[in-house]
Amino acid sequence: MALSTLTARHLETGSLRLARLGPEHRATVERFQAEAYARTRETLGTQPMPLDWDYGEILDTCETWIAASGGEPKGLLILRRRSGDLYLESIATLPSAAGNGHGTAMMSAAFQRARSLGLPEIRLVTNALNPALAWYKRLGFVIEREQDLGDRTVVHMVAAVS
């Protein structure tokens, strides 16, 4: 899916428009993540890692993008620029928007952002029990390693940016 617009403040892909959020949007981001990750908590039986984050630090150090369609929020994408890759901190859709292609559109935007920054790879970490693991693999991510954290096993994944 090609992006029609790419700037430092806005991304567009099809009917999905992503706008960059700043520190003043902390409460909005925290509410969105709590709602988006509620179903993950139920599926995994444990607190999803993004719900333990300090969103003040995230908003200061990461690119945080809210995705909307028809003027309504649908997803949130959090990207961290690193020296050799773009790290996907979080990609989440609201339960009401799940299954409508918004996650795929946001992932397309993440790959476009990596290309625009000249970064050759995107990395992420997910729970080994996350149903999205198969989706990540379909999008070209491969497992680099698994890590036992006691209460969960996390899977480190990487995808080449072409």
Section 117-145 average pLDDT = 95
Q: Could you tell me the pLDDT band of residue 5, with boundaries at 50, 70 and 90?
A: very low
Query: Residue 90 and residue 108: Cα distance in Å, rounded?
Result: 14
DSSP string, 84-113: S-EEEEEEEE-GGGTTSSHHHHHHHHHHHH
Sign of the dihedral through C-alpha 106, 110, 111, 116:
positive
25: confidence class by pLDDT, cuts 50, 70, 90: very high
- pLDDT class of 146 with cuts at 50, 70, 90: very high
Mean pLDDT, range 139-159, rounded to an integer: 94
Query: End-to-end distance of the chain based on CA atoms, in angstroms?
Result: 13
Q: Is the pTM above the cut of 0.95? A: no
Which of 9-13, 78-82, 94-98, 149-153: highest mean pLDDT?
78-82
Instruction: Quote the strand ranges of 33-136, DSSP E.
Output: 63-69, 72-81, 86-93, 121-127
**Is residue 124 within 8 Å of 136, Cβ to Cβ?**
yes
How much is the average pLDDT of 99-115? 90
User: At 129, is the pLDDT very low, low, confident or very high (cuts 50, 70, 90)?
Assistant: confident
C-alpha–C-alpha distance, residues 154 and 75, integer Å:
23
What's the pLDDT score for residue 9?
67
* Confidence grade of residue 13 (pLDDT, cut at 50, 70, 90): low
Greater pLDDT, 132 or 100: 132
Of the chain, the percentage scoring pLDDT greater than 90 comes to 62
Residue 24 to residue 42: CA distance in whole angstroms: 30
pLDDT at 135 exceeding the cut of 60? yes
With contact defined as beta carbons under 8 Å apart, do 48 and 40 qualify?
yes
What is the predicted pLDDT for the residue at 12? 65
Classify the C-alpha dihedral 27-101-137-158 as positive or negative: negative
